[in-house]
Amino acid sequence: MKLVEMTELGLDELDEQIKKSRIELVNLRMKFKARQLENPSLISKQRKEIARLLTVQTQKSKEKPVSAKTVEKIKKTRKKTSKKIGDE
């Protein structure tokens, strides 16, 4: 996904895309461990995409005043996905 496309997404759509990207990263890592991944550089590309998505999400959240519910939702999402990734 290109940066222009990322900036056009809303906060909820960014959350969903971050979840999907993190799941894809876990899948790529599992394929790498099982020696089924032909192109290992896909792992670093996926990590960079997640970083870009998180950056865009932070920028968008700082643009407009965010309610406390939205902030809590972002924190919960990050905690849940980081636990899943750390369980490898």
Which of 1, 19, 40 has the alpha carbon at shortest distance from 82?
Answer: 19
Task: Give the residue extent of every domain in the chain.
Answer: 3-86
Q: Band the pLDDT of 75: cuts 50, 70, 90.
A: confident
SS3 category, 10: coil
Residue whose C-alpha is closest to residue 28's, from 43, 18, 14: 43
Q: Tell me the percentage of the chain whose pLDDT exceeds 90.
A: 57
Q: Report pLDDT digits (tens) over 1-41.
A: 888 888 899 999 999 999 999 999 999 999 999 999 999 99
